[in-house]
Amino acid sequence: MNDRQKSKILERREREKLNLDQEKYALEQQKLALEHEKLALEERKLAVSIYLEDFKARWQELLNFENENNRWITLYVTALLLVISWILNNSEKYNGLRGLYGEGDNAYFIMSIAIINALYTFAMAFKGYQIQQIAQYQYEHIAGNIWDTLRVPFNEWERYRREAFARKSGPEPIRTTYYVLIGSLPTIVSYTIIGLYWAFEWWVQVGRNHWRSPRNWFSVGAFALVTCSLIFSWRTSRLNRRWDKLLRETEGRVNRSESNPKEDGAA
């Protein structure tokens, strides 16, 4: 074997060794890429797990608020029926509502019901405000982060019920009617109580004490408190309108996942 042949053999071996090294390097790169993908998957899994735990915690808090609201509504309706029953049973004793308001300190007792109603309205409005905050946090923050992580729509109940049961965008009519009736009942009762006092007893007290009548001032204070509770309830209920904005801004979640789920999965 001459030197030329030996040189070719060495060159071929060097080339084979170089090819092996290149293949080995490519395999190492693939292995490293797989490790990075595995690490990324673990990070996504951990993130989604944290979001789900946060969602469950907020959901339990929301259920607690809902249950508390239901208990207060039940107690309120029961107490209201008892008060109405007492007024009806004693109206004949005092020769009607006029005598009922004018006898002793009955006017203070009856108008105190309006004040209790106002406080109840404040409490229910604030609880409703907290419930809306939690629900919107779940949808905007938690569901938004899960969408960014997995490209999978999550917690789309609010969108579904509005699209499936409402004639146009916004809450469905039956739900709106229910909450308006339940929410307005204490205010209607309060204004009725104060209105009856002004009709039956206001001018009587003006004739006795002129502008210094404590009962009249008490009725004015009760009216102001009831009005403030109504305004507060209306202002807090406006948070519900924010759902329309949120659903419009996140409409791409559902549309994109339905139109091209494979692309979303690859992303």
**Cα 230 from Cα 180, distance rounded (Å):** 12
Residues of the domain holding 69:
56-266
More confident residue, 266 or 139: 139
Q: Does residue 35 form part of some domain?
A: no
Q: Does residue 227 form part of some domain?
A: yes
User: pLDDT tens digits for 122-179?
Assistant: 988 998 899 999 999 999 999 999 999 888 888 888 888 888 877 665 567 787 788 8
Highest mean pLDDT range out of 26-40, 132-146, 235-249? 132-146
Residue 11's pLDDT is what? 76
User: DSSP class of residue 153?
Assistant: -
pTM of the full structure = 0.74
Q: Does residue 144 form part of some domain?
A: yes
Q: Does residue 50 form part of some domain?
A: no
Number of folded domains that form the chain: 1
Three-class secondary structure of residue 95 per DSSP: coil
User: pLDDT tens digits for 76-124?
Assistant: 888 888 888 877 777 777 777 777 787 778 888 889 999 999 999 998 8
8 Å CB contact between 223 and 194: yes
Q: Does residue 125 form part of some domain?
A: yes
Residue 169's pLDDT is what? 56
Q: Does residue 13 form part of some domain?
A: no
Q: Does residue 2 form part of some domain?
A: no
Q: Does residue 21 form part of some domain?
A: no
**Cα 133 from Cα 236, distance rounded (Å):** 10
8 Å CB contact between 151 and 264: yes
**Cα 217 from Cα 8, distance rounded (Å):** 115
8 Å CB contact between 257 and 152: yes
